[in-house]
């Protein structure tokens, strides 16, 4: 069967999946009994007046008497949906519903997906601020750069609940965790590594910023966009690209990759030639993360360099960089201590938790889920698998501890979390 036929079959299966037996992937559920007149009088009038008064007296009581504390808004304007571009908010709704499914499936976080028809970043910001009292956290999704930076910054400043743009920080966290483990295996350090990032949008900028926070040196980092290397001589750079502009004579992607220790691709398919990989430093790390088709296929990269460690965004190759390893568990930890934000300390805690889990022996149920007999920390296993049930045991507690230690938590370390020294 041809690839075209396989693609058509997958599209039809997806349409059938989303259409039946009920349209969409989400529904609401009642969480309290409401079978008798007495229960109805508690759920609504007259009994509901009691929690209303309690919340009016103290807004924090909303966390006790409503679902706010476990409810996240997944919000998009539809300007950068997957690899499909600006398809608009309504067409982006299946993706937002899918995100909600992942929140619930992996971390039992409830979600309302909200698609906003906003004519400007300011209109989008105003809409989110007005509806924010409903939620315990805001997950921004599929918003094009550079507006995504403006929107997230404004919302973080104006709201006292976590605001997290997953396309930025979720991607950055998983990249950082995998990269640190890959560098360890290659006998290299982040501080000394020369890093090339192809793609200067939300994921690229956020990843470079997080790597700097973890110890990478800006002078060793080269960002590349559609026009080539981002260098100090260019006059077409926005403020976010300018942050990583270098004084360099290198101009092309090939120039940038010569002698590089690390390549990170968050751009598009088939943009890296085997010759570029061959020109990298000994024991290179290649993260070709464009989906569904990477910047270079692993088969071609390995033909060019047998000493590399490779990751992609795909599930059919080893080392999948998948945001589902991050955002459900990061929000779980943030919500459980009622954090006012998700700060850099919490993001680094998530990175280190994911790194540590990849070093642990892999349980049999994970092996069964992925149809393999063995997985162990090494070149083809540098980050955990999404169906590893231990993610909920590693990441939320680490995020919660970081929130407490950095002063952004409003309640203490949850009793059901594992205990650690100092907590």
Q: Which has the closest alpha carbon to 72: 99, 35, 37?
A: 99
Spatial strand order of the sheet with 71-76 comes to 110-115, 71-76, 137-140, 163-165
Phi-psi region of 82 (alpha: psi -120 to 50; beta: other; left: phi over 0): left
d(CA 34, CA 114): 27
Q: Which of 17, 25, 32, 44 is labelled catalytic?
A: 44
Residue 44 is a catalytic residue: yes
Phi/psi for 274 (5° steps) reads -55, -35
Residue from 327, 268, 335 nearest 68 by CA: 335
The tokens for 21 are 């037996």
Active-site hit among 68, 93, 99, 385: 99
Q: What are phi and psi of 58, to 5 degrees?
A: -150, 105
Does residue 394 carry a catalytic annotation? no
Tokens of residue 337, six digits? 């201590």
Tokens linked to 322: 């998948």
Q: Are 309 and 280 in contact (CB under 8 A)?
A: no
Q: Are strands 228-229 and 221-225 parallel, antiparallel or unpaired?
A: antiparallel
Q: How far apart are CA 147 and CA 92, in angstroms?
A: 17
Classify burial at 104, counting beta carbons within 10 Å of its beta carbon; exposed 0-12, middle 13-18, buried 19 or more. Answer: middle
318 CB-near residues (< 8 Å, 6+ apart): 310, 311, 380, 381
Residues serving a catalytic function are 44, 99
């Amino acid at each position: 069967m041809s690839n075209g036929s396989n693609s058509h079959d997958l599209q039809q299966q997806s349409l059938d999946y989303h259409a039946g037996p009920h349209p969409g992937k989400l529904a609401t559920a009642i969480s309290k009994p409401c079978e008798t007149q007495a229960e109805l009088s508690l759920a609504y009038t007259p009994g509901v007046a009691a929690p209303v008064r309690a919340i009016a007296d103290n807004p924090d009581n909303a966390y006790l008497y409503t679902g706010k504390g476990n409810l996240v808004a997944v919000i998009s304007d539809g300007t950068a949906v997957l690899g499909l571009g600006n398809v608009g908010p309504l067409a982006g709704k299946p993706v937002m519903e899918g995100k909600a499914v992942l929140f619930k499936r992996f971390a039992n976080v409830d979600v309302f997906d909200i698609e906003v028809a906003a004519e400007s970043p300011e209109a989008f910001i105003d809409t989110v601020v007005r509806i924010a009292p409903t939620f315990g956290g805001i997950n921004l999704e599929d918003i094009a750069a550079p507006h995504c930076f403006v929107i997230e910054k404004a919302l973080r400043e104006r709201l006292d609940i976590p605001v997290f743009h997953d396309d930025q920080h979720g991607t950055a966290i998983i990249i950082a965790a995998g990269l640190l483990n890959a560098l360890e295996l290659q006998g290299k350090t982040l501080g000394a590594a020369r890093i090339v990032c192809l793609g200067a949008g939300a994921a690229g900028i956020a990843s470079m910023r997080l790597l700097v926070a973890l110890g990478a040196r800006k002078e060793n980092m080269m960002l590349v966009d559609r026009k080539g290397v981002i260098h100090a001589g260019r006059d077409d750079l926005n403020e976010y690209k300018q942050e990583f502009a270098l004084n360099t004579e290198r101009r092309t992607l090939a120039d940038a990759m010569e002698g590089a220790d690390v390549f990170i691709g968050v751009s598009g398919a088939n943009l890296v030639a085997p010759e570029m990989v061959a020109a990298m430093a000994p024991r290179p790390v290649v993260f070709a993360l464009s989906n569904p088709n990477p910047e270079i296929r692993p088969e071609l990269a390995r033909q060019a360099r047998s000493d590399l460690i490779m990751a992609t965004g795909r599930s059919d190759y080893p080392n999948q960089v998948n945001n589902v390893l991050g955002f459900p568990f990061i929000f779980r930890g943030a919500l459980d201590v009622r954090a006012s934000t998700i700060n850099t300390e919490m993001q680094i805690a998530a990175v280190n938790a994911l790194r540590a889990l990849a070093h642990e022996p892999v349980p049999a149920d994970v092996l069964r889920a992925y149809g393999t007999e063995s997985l162990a920390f090494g070149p083809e296993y540098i980050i955990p698998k999404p169906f590893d049930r231990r993610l909920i045991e590693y990441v939320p507690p680490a995020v919660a501890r970081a929130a407490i230690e950095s002063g952004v938590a409003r309640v203490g370390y949850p009793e059901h979390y594992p205990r650690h020294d100092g907590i």
